[in-house]
Amino acid sequence: MDRNTQDIGQDLGRLAEDARALISATADIAGDRVGEARKRLEQALENGGEIYHRARDRAIAGAKVTDAAIHQHPYQAMMVGVGVGALLGYLIARKSDRNGG
């Protein structure tokens, strides 16, 4: 995993820890609204964890497929990269010309 992915995972982990601490801190507070908010927060934590893990697994699977495709077709992959770079360069130069240089 790259550094950004690790940072996002750590941030989400800290957020989940803070949310669980909040749930624990409000355990002795009575009231329908607080109880309902705690239930919603617990459900959101569960859903968020599931979504994060699915997204991470899909990203890893996609990276593996991309890596395999690039290793099988290195010259085609290189030409796609050159083509995308040329297109971006053209678009940036065109925008620069419209803005007066």
Q: Where are the domains of the chain?
A: 3-73
The 10 Å Cβ neighbour count of residue 65 is 10
pLDDT of residue 23: 78
- Runs of H (alpha helix) within the chain: 3-25, 32-72, 74-98
- From CA 59, how far away is CA 48, in angstroms rounded? 16
Nearest to 43 by CA among 20, 25, 24: 20
pLDDT in 10s for each residue of the chain, 101 residues: 567 777 877 888 888 888 888 878 877 777 777 778 888 888 888 888 888 889 889 989 999 999 999 999 999 999 999 999 999 999 999 888 877 65
Question: DSSP letters of 60-74?
Answer: HHHHHHHHHHHHHSH
pLDDT of residue 7: 80
pLDDT of residue 16: 84
**22 — phi, psi (to 5°)?**
-65, -40
pLDDT of residue 1: 55
